[in-house]
Amino acid sequence: MAKIKLKFVCTDCGAESPKWMGKCPGCNAWNTMVEEKETVVKTKGVGLSGIHTKEKAQSIIHIESGQEPRIETRMVELNRVLGGGVVPGSLILVGGDPGIGKSTLLLQTSHALASKGLRVLYISGEESVRQTKLRADRLGALSENLFVLCETNMEHINDAIESVNPQFLVIDSIQTVYDPRVESAPGSVSQVRECTAHFMRTAKIKGVATVLVGHVTKEGAIAGPRLLEHMVDCVLYFEGERHHTYRLLRAVKNRFGSTNEIGIFEMTEDGLREVSNPSELFLSERPLGVSGSTVVASMEGTRPVLVELQALVATTHFPSPRRMSTGIDHHRMALIIAVLEKRNGMFLQTQDAYLNVAGGVKLDEPAVDLAAAVSLASSFRDAPTKPYDVIFGEVGLTGEVRAVSRAEQRVKEAEKLGFKRVIMPEKSLKGWKTPQGIEVIGVNTVSEALKAALG
């Protein structure tokens, strides 16, 4: 007979414990252990000798190698993030804040694939069929090959997959699907783990490209056990600010492509629109001739993006000045302030410093260091920067400016958008020819960069 056993599982990392604990022993999170029931079935006479595999191990030399065929989605930004398109049989996990546009993105993608003749099955556990139809009417996502179902039972979902035989499957969302054989509530660790494992087997055996929508926690991570991200082939995060119209699609895991690419979309009344030139979007509201504002050329994968960096340095009467940054790691900002104090003689110990990447973009590469240093110095001295300058470079602890990668692409993007000068590391000038319509100034130290930018 089946024996029911109680256990406690962490909702963050999936660690199990026979008794409740206030602090998870796996991830050290507080109040994340929840009670779950586990059914244990005792069987007799079943050992390891009864397990047989159909395939035999073979030498890696004799295995045929080939490029995975990809399905282009007619959305260039999505294809770039995925590495060229959707791989048949892949399992993709998409996460994002509520209302950010995950369902809109996937419904538009489903329509694009259905328009190419592929059978697409869109299963929603959070909306009815009529609600999905209303969104499809607004987006213009209507096609004979796009099938919609509102279901959360795994057995009924399997029947729908067998009857439709889709080539592209969307589950919105994985936290609403439940397996009736698992005695846990939908969204629990056991349910999410078992349902994801089932969709993974279906994707690999049938060759169905499957997309799972995952909820996120208040910290921004995908809800559920960490095992969920290990099981899938690709993890995408759909990011953006509610007060801005654009959205960023970023890959944090991709077995079939790079994780450095981002896709940029703009939310409109008719759905998501691709942004082919993000630099113009981020610089559209940039003020000219003000202190603390610089333009930095950042690389997002293989694409250069020009964004505005704003700094504000103001006198404080408190003993501990504030250091706040948005879009840049505040530890990196503290390092740059220390370099300006030690190497350039700026007394910033009595100044509050604020650094912001205009538009809400997150920059995590060291090439933005030099632009951040110029912005802070410009605001501190109240000296406006030149409106047609682009600055990039990595700053070291001794005040030197280090070389960065893909300098030629950054300069060409600045020249294409009409900028007149580029201040960059001198060591990055080797090996390529500068364009004719732009002046390139190579610097070796932060002091040289400040002299060239602020005079």
Q: Give residue-wise pLDDT tens across range 340-371.
A: 999 999 999 999 999 999 877 888 899 999 99
pLDDT at 440 over 70: yes
- 103 annotated as belonging to a binding site for a ligand: yes
Question: How does residue 53 score in pLDDT terms, banded at 50, 70 and 90?
Answer: very low
- 100 annotated as belonging to a binding site for a ligand: yes
The mean pLDDT value for 426-447 works out to: 92
- Can you give the three-state secondary structure of the chain, one letter per residue? CEEEEEEEEECCCCCEECCCCCECCCCCCECCEEEEEEEEECCCCCCHHHCCCCCCCCCHHHCCCCCCCCECCCCHHHHHHHCCCECCCCEEEEEECCCCCHHHHHHHHHHHHHHCCCCEEEEECCCCHHHHHHHHHHHCCCCCCEEEEECCEHHHHHHHHHHHCCCEEEEECHHHCECCCCCCCCCCHHHHHHHHHHHHHHHHHHCCEEEEEECECCCCCECCCCHHHHHCCEEEEEECCCCCCEEEEEEEEECCCCCCCEEEEEEECCEEEECCCHHHHHCCCCCCCCCCEEEEEEEECCEEEEEEEEEEEEECCCCCCCEEEECCCHHHHHHHHHHHHHHHCCCCCCEEEEEEECCCCCCCCHHHHHHHHHHHHHHHHCCCCCCCEEECCEECCCCEEECCCCHHHHHHHHHHCCCCEEEEEHHHHCCCCCCCCCEEEEECEHHHHHHHHHC
In this prediction, residue 383 carries a pLDDT of 94
In this prediction, residue 49 carries a pLDDT of 38
User: Which has more pLDDT, 356 or 68?
Assistant: 356
Both tokens assigned to 247: 């959205």
- 101 annotated as belonging to a binding site for a ligand: yes
- 12 annotated as belonging to a binding site for a ligand: no
User: Which has more pLDDT, 447 or 364?
Assistant: 447
- 364 annotated as belonging to a binding site for a ligand: no
The mean pLDDT value for 213-241 works out to: 83
User: Which has more pLDDT, 288 or 332?
Assistant: 332
In this prediction, residue 39 carries a pLDDT of 57
Average pLDDT in the chain: 88
The answer to whether 299 and 305 have CB atoms below 8 angstroms apart is yes
In this prediction, residue 50 carries a pLDDT of 39
In this prediction, residue 121 carries a pLDDT of 97
The mean pLDDT value for 80-97 works out to: 92
pLDDT at 120 over 60: yes
Among the listed ranges 209-218, 280-289, 404-413, which one has the minimum average pLDDT value? 280-289
In this prediction, residue 11 carries a pLDDT of 77
- Interval 251-273: pLDDT, tens: 999 998 888 888 889 888 889 99
Q: Kindly report the pTM of this predicted structure.
A: 0.77
Which of 56-60, 181-185, 194-198 ranks highest by mean pLDDT? 194-198
Share of the chain above pLDDT 70, in %: 93
- 63 annotated as belonging to a binding site for a ligand: no
In this prediction, residue 286 carries a pLDDT of 87
In this prediction, residue 46 carries a pLDDT of 39
- Distance (Å, whole) CA 336 – CA 106: 41
pLDDT at 51 over 50: no
User: Which has more pLDDT, 301 or 442?
Assistant: 442
pLDDT at 41 over 60: no
Among the listed ranges 107-116, 428-437, 442-451, which one has the minimum average pLDDT value? 428-437
